[in-house]
Amino acid sequence: MPVETPHPLLSVENLSIDYGRGRSRTRVVTDVSFDIAEGETLGLVGESGSGKSTIGKAILGLVPVAEGAVRFDGEDISRVSPRRRRELTRAIQVIYQDPYGSLNPARQVGTTLAEPLTLRRGELSRREISQRVGDALELVGLPSTAARKYPGDFSGGQRQRIAIARAVIVRPRLIVCDEAVSALDLSIQAQVLNLLQDLSAELGMSYLFISHDLAVVELLSSRIAVLYRGSIVERGDARQLLEQPQAPYTRLLQAAAPVPDPDEQRRRREEFFAAFRSRQSA
Ligand SMILES: Nc1ncnc2c1ncn2[C@@H]1O[C@H](COP(=O)(O)OP(=O)(O)O)[C@@H](O)[C@H]1O
Ligand SMILES: [Mg+2]
């Protein structure tokens, strides 16, 4: 019997996206295609302004699609009703760079986490909800007592853990991670990446892992797509792409140093990789 190709969880097909209308209309994403298998992490890398967040937003239904399709589990979700879109938020979640911007500072963490669960009133009792909130916090390495605190009581890394807990509490099948670790110190980045990797393995989730930083993308992704000015210029197996980048732009990204001093840059990278890998082999 022929081996069946498993159908991808997410399939972005010839996606184009415009901003503005009339004469100020500009195409910011052009003919982008990729897919993500169940449980897989696909890295989407490119410099600031290349269109990464716009693609993420199209998947989340936050920007209109000009051409092409976004297929989730076979269904084209690029032009669905608001009602269907709300249902899909259970299956497709997002984690942004700045959890402080996305977490309500005036709300207890437990209230924020419980929100998507209380929308299903009737299905879950208050006790079950508080149990789930506690479980979600423990899943991301925080004590369940964190539920009674406020975002301001936590460090940046802990706040990002809270944002991750909020995403996973509904048991999504896909999470769009848009620069999810970019605002964190390198040592904290490694910890949060470890956590994301564990969660994907434990819960079988897929990630679209968006970052301007190729080194970060490489750590989690099995495959990588490189975006330049709204188009994919290179794609492939993560290791192969890193070892033998074909597109000149990919080589440029590789050489790009977020820290101006190359020695300092090297030292920080080594520290970062060591922190990540020490856990990998533990
Ligand atoms: N709401 C918007 N209206 C008009 N142009 C936008 C809007 N958001 C982003 N852009 C432009 O679209 C392009 C892609 O932006 P974005 O997807 O945010 O890139 P990235 O996430 O890779 O930094 C950029 O040129 C940006 O200036
Ligand atoms: Mg962005």
**What residues does each domain of the chain span?**
10-103+174-281
Residue to mutate, 19, 25, 249, ligand 1, most ligand atoms under 8 Å from C-beta: 19
* Ligand showing the shortest atom-to-Cα distance for residue 180: 2
Closest residue to atom 16 of ligand 1, CA basis: 51
Cβ-Cβ contacts under 8 Å for 10 (sequence gap 6 or more): 35, 36, 59, 70, 71, 72, 174, 206, 208
Q: DSSP string spanning 116-185?
A: HHHTTBTTB-HHHHHHHHHHHHHHTT--GGGGGS-GGGS-HHHHHHHHHHHHHTT--SEEEEESTTTTS-
Cα 53 to ligand 1 centre (Å): 7
Residue to mutate, 25, 27, 29, 54, ligand 1, most ligand atoms under 8 Å from C-beta: 54
Q: What is the 3-state secondary structure (H, E, C) of 3-40?
A: CCCCCCCEEEEEEEEEECCHHHCEEEEEEEEEEECCCC
Cα 47 to ligand 2 centre (Å): 9
Each of the 282 residues of the chain gets a pLDDT tens digit; together they read 455 556 899 999 999 999 999 999 999 999 999 999 999 999 999 999 999 999 999 999 999 999 999 999 999 999 999 999 999 999 999 999 987 777 999 999 999 999 988 876 678 888 999 999 999 999 999 999 999 999 999 999 999 999 999 999 999 999 999 999 999 988 899 999 999 999 999 999 999 999 999 989 989 999 999 999 999 999 999 989 988 889 988 888 887 645 555 566 666 666 665 666 566 554
State phi, psi for 62 to the nearest 5 degrees.
-95, -10
Say if residues 166 and 150 touch (Cβ distance below 8 Å): no
First and final CA of the chain: distance in angstroms?
Answer: 40
Q: Checking DSSP bridges between strand 174-178 and strand 206-211, what pairing results, if any?
A: parallel
Lining ligand 1 with CB less than 6 A are: 19-20, 28, 46, 48-54
Q: Which of 2.170.130.10, 3.40.50.300, 3.30.70.1230, 3.20.20.220 is the CATH number of 10-103+174-281? A: 3.40.50.300
Query: Residue 224 and residue 180: Cα distance in Å, rounded?
Result: 16
